[in-house]
Amino acid sequence: MKTRSLVLVGMIIAMSWVVTGARAAETELAQLTDGGFTVSYPAGLESQAKHILDVAKEAITPSMDVNKQMVGFLASADSMATDIAALLGYQEKQPKAKEYLLAYKSRSEALIQCFGNIQLVKKADAAVAGGLDAGILQVSYDKDKDEFNMIIDADDASPERLKASYFPIFVNADGSIRAEKKLGEMAVDFMGSSKTMIIAPVHETVASLMAKDLNLYHPFARWFNEGVSAWITKQVIAKTDPKLAKMADDLFGVNPVSAKYRETVNFIAWPQRAFENQRDPEADPALETAQTRYAIEMISNLLGKNGPQILPQIMREVNFNSNADTDTILAAIKKVTGKDFRPTFMTYVPKAIRDGIAAGDPKKLTAKAEALVGGKKLADAAAKLKLALQMNPLDVNARLNLAWIERELGSRLDGEIQVFIAARLMDQGKHSFHMYGQSLEGNYILGRFAILMGNLEYARKFLEPVLEAKPDHADAKKAMEEIRALENAVGAPSAPATK
């Protein structure tokens, strides 16, 4: 969902900008202050300082305002954390929820401090110092590229460090300002500017509690994670600041654009973000958004008909199984409500997929794929396997075969993701699998799979033939290096390096 692109997930964000500068000379700086911004500058740069102050007031103010609103909203972190924990049915998680919320608050406070205090830095000092210590903003210089990398680290937002924080603007020897036109762009990328950011920390806090602290993150139960986290967010927002309730409704509700995708939504095979290929050229962001909105709709209807008090009961039921998949969650809903929720769930699966499941198509499709591999028709085989996995995403054998076939077709990244998913699904129970054909990429995939499953001996056996036949196989070489690193970490004897 687009929400995730609006949310600043994590506390370390790194960016690179083609700018030039370095540690400011230890000289006395003059200052100009207006509109909530202070520009510090060395002697001789007053005109540049006045110009930057004007630019900042226009380009940075929108981002500053949003972050200030977020800080104000998160002043209620303690009560919001209490509500989140209660709605989940895990009151003992209140301190963790508060910790997550306050982390977002601290980060926004740090950004406000940093971007509200701008300092002009001469180019002449850049090459010598090789970087800047600007408090929460650390800058390192790449001499070869004549670039500076800016890294914001808000983990340590102590009063002393915040006071020392500023945003550097670099000035060339001729007085021209480096990256002047990118000032607003940098502010938006670091700070954001959408008003939906104000409520995003609540959504991300619930999502983190479910995935990290309650261990509810099955690869294909995203509909539950998304639906529950957004539903709780709406309840907390409405109680904490009713003025933001409409924003939450607009952000999470089904709209005309999403409605166009209603018949293509497929909750059976919708992977969690950690199991998605974010670079897939065939991915449709609008479909992703639609699936999130419909997941919220489905969970909202469930809780609306049965009462919000059933959510803690459902959560307790599914948390007894750390690998809670769709079947486990639906069984928990049935146990708590006394009603079979599966028929409702299946309405969020395309009719063609439902019909295919009823007709036993997944097995037929995988059999056809194996035959196509025998006929060297790999692209057609991949298409059959992808369709089969839309109906039965838990088929480890189909997924591993798709992985090596995609590598043969040049889709290396997607192949790696398929292996990652297959290894995660192995936690669900026993699976049998076999490769549809002999290939070096098949061996590589089995080697990677064995590493993920912790069987380094078999991983080595699968990878060694690959490197014997193709010594320059970059991914196989990396995999063997990973094996040696793991063996050394646990003190196991490491075999000689494969050349």
| Alpha helices (H) in 307-375, listed in sequence order | 310-318, 326-337, 342-346, 351-358, 361-374
Q: Which residue has the tokens 């200030």?
A: 68
Q: Domain extents for the chain? A: 2-196, 215-349
Nearest CA to 443 out of 417, 472, 479 is that of: 479
Find all residues with CB under 8 Å of 28, minimum gap 6, and list them: none
Hey, which residues does 41 pair with through a beta bridge?
Answer: 30
Q: Which residue has the tokens 């489905």?
A: 298
**In the structure encoding, which two tokens stand for residue 11, read together?**
């506390």
**Residue type at position 81:** A
Q: Which residue has the tokens 């949003």?
A: 66
Q: Look at residue 309 and give its three-state secondary structure.
A: coil
> Residue 348: what are its φ and ψ, rounded to 5°?
-100, 35
**In the structure encoding, which two tokens stand for residue 34, read together?**
């207006």
- Angle, helices 396-408/440-452, rounded to nearest 10 degrees: 130
Whether 138 and 154 have beta carbons less than 8 Å apart is answered as: no
Model confidence, pTM: 0.84
Q: Side-chain half-sphere of 288: how many Cα atoms within 13 Å?
A: 16
Local confidence pLDDT in tens for the 499 residues of the chain? 433 333 333 333 333 333 333 333 446 899 999 999 999 999 999 999 999 999 999 989 999 999 999 999 999 999 999 999 999 999 999 999 999 999 999 989 989 998 999 999 887 676 677 778 888 888 887 888 877 788 887 677 678 888 888 999 888 888 888 877 777 788 888 888 888 999 999 999 999 999 999 999 999 999 999 999 999 999 999 999 999 999 999 999 999 999 999 999 999 999 999 999 888 888 899 999 999 999 999 999 999 988 889 999 999 998 766 679 999 999 999 999 999 999 999 999 999 999 999 999 999 999 999 999 999 999 999 999 999 999 999 999 999 999 999 999 999 899 999 999 999 898 666 667 788 888 889 889 888 988 888 888 888 889 998 899 999 999 999 999 998 888 887 665 444 433 3
Distance, in Å, from the CA atom of 68 to the CA atom of 143, rounded to the nearest integer, reads: 36
Q: Are strands 167-171 and 117-122 parallel, antiparallel or unpaired?
A: parallel
Beta-strand (E) ranges in 239-324? none
Whether 22 and 291 have beta carbons less than 8 Å apart is answered as: no
**In the structure encoding, which two tokens stand for residue 83, read together?**
């509500």
Distance, in Å, from the CA atom of 485 to the CA atom of 494, rounded to the nearest integer, reads: 9
